[in-house]
Amino acid sequence: MHWYQMKLLGRAQTHSSDSQVCRPDTVADVAKYMEQVGKSGIIARGSGSAYADQALNSGGAVMMSDRLDRIRSFDEKTGELVCEPGLTLETITHLFAPRGFMFPIATGSGRRTLGGAIASNLFGMNCRKKAALSQAVNWMDIVLADGSTVRADKQNNADLFAAVVGGQGLIGFISLISITLPKRPDRNVHVVRRRYPNLDALLDALRDARKNADFCVAWVDTSARGNAVGRSVLKTATFTSDPVSGSVLSMPKIKRGLPRFMLNLAAMPLIKDIRYRLSSGNSDKIIPYEEFIYPSDHFGVVSPKNVYQLRFCFSEAEGPQAVRQILTELSEMRIHACRAVVQPTADETVADLAFPMRGYCLSLDFIRRKGLEEFLRHLMMIACEHKGRVALCNDALMEMRFLFRMYKGLEAFTAARKKYDPQEKFDSDFARRVLKEDDNDE
């Protein structure tokens, strides 16, 4: 058993930490390492997909789960997969898609681990049907701070289950997982792209897509102004038994992030305008399911350095007004997001810190620069005013005053943490930033 001193980074490289790192080879090693953890605490880390400081622990310990990637069993009849937390989503897809199964959540990248996906309560392009990953998890074995292992599901130790799913690793270490892989309806998907001139047109299209499409996501041009605010390209996909049609473009892999000129704040509006105008207004093709999911991995897209990502979720009633207000302020302030996505969402009722609700998700990426943090906190306040939420798994700027207003399950989560880890042995830079600061005025 060994510990190593390492400098770790969040995916977006806005946060870093110097920590003592361990890599257990077996699940049995986890409890042994827990015995050696000091007052600075420990946090689990999978593939390092967390954008900010969720899997960082400055001056403390970090437990890597990447070697815990064994499959224990799979039931062909029910789709139940029992595996360790370090197994990646792309590995699950590679192994089981040829057998007619699919991972329950369709997300941009398959490189994250299953344990990390549960700790962040992953959601994706099919979230209008599957609100979040918690719905597919049957049970988990969780190693607690005292080294004991407890099995939790939605009926037994339900408070532990609800706190661990979406709990950012702050309750215990997920050591074994049972998850149900649904049957894939067909081998291929029919992908349709349509352009929409403004937000009203996009919202109408999203309402239709909610009823008919299996997958749905829209790219939004945040540089558009006036009546064009919210102009976008909507991509929907539906399973089909029809054969593959046309050629699937093979995009060049970008190994060192996007070219810098594409991220230049002055050039960004021009690039967005070109992208919108060059997008086909009436495009459709049929491609294999495996080539549709994990688009970031297929195209080799690497997130640029120093990026803040904000993911908002709003109800159906508040969403249109909230999204319009945020997009309008972005265009008027000439603050351009290097990535902006809107998609429909469904209610997530399992996790204490549940992010999705039935409505709309607006995801924004910003290149970090001087003065930006204040504006992004202003956007968080807008979210509070519209009874929205900011996703914790991507957050770099959350404060307790926002968390308290956005997450009604915070009290239950805090109670579970006190019950199962009263000494707060599981700790992180994120927890110290968000959960331990002095209360601000609400």
Banded pLDDT at 304 (limits 50, 70, 90): low
- Backbone dihedral region of 79: left (phi > 0), alpha (psi from -120 to 50 degrees) or beta? left
Banded pLDDT at 273 (limits 50, 70, 90): low
Residue 6 pLDDT > 90, yes or no? Answer: yes
- Exposed, middle or buried, 71 (CB in 10 Å: 0-12/13-18/19+)? middle
Residue 10 is given by DSSP the state -
User: Domain residues of the chain, as ranges?
Assistant: 71-184, 188-404
pTM: 0.91
Among 42-51, 291-300, 426-435, the range scoring the smallest mean pLDDT is 291-300
Banded pLDDT at 281 (limits 50, 70, 90): low
Residue 418 pLDDT > 70, yes or no? Answer: yes
Q: Tell me, what amino acid is at 212?
A: N
Percentage of the chain beyond pLDDT 70 is 88
Round to whole Å and give the CA distance between 111 and 60. Answer: 25
Angle at 425 between CA 422 and CA 430, to 5 degrees: 105
Structure tokens at 167: 């709990």
Tell the CATH topology of 71-184: 3.30.465
DSSP strands (E only) in 120-222: 137-143, 149-153, 173-180, 188-196, 215-220
Per-residue pLDDT of 84-98, as tens digits, reads 999 999 999 999 999
Residue 135 pLDDT > 50, yes or no? Answer: yes
Residue 412 pLDDT > 60, yes or no? Answer: yes
Per-residue pLDDT of 210-241, as tens digits, reads 999 999 999 999 999 999 999 999 999 999 99
Average pLDDT over residues 334-345: 93
DSSP string, 271-322: HHHHHHHHS-SEEEEEEEHHHHS-HHHHTT--PPSSEEEEEEEEETTTHHHH
Reference 309, options 387, 362, 370, 234; nearest CA is 362
Residue 134 is given by DSSP the state G
Q: Supply the pLDDT for residue 267.
A: 45
Q: Reading across the β-sheet that carries 16-22, which strands appear in turn? A: 4-9, 16-22, 61-64, 42-45
Q: Supply the pLDDT for residue 109.
A: 84
Distinct helix (H) and strand (E) counts, the chain: 14, 17
Among 77-91, 120-134, 300-314, 364-378, the range scoring the smallest mean pLDDT is 300-314
Average pLDDT over residues 12-17: 88
CA dihedral 387, 392, 398, 402 (to 10 degrees): 20
Q: Supply the pLDDT for residue 442.
A: 43
Centroid of chain to Cα 67? 22
Round to whole Å and give the CA distance between 28 and 32. Answer: 7
Q: Reading across the β-sheet that carries 149-153, which strands appear in turn? A: 71-74, 80-83, 173-180, 137-143, 149-153
Structure tokens at 317: 């009633």
Q: Report whether CATH 3.40.462 matches the domain 188-404.
A: yes
Handedness of CA 116, 118, 121, 122 (dihedral sign): positive
Round to whole Å and give the CA distance between 316 and 217. Answer: 16
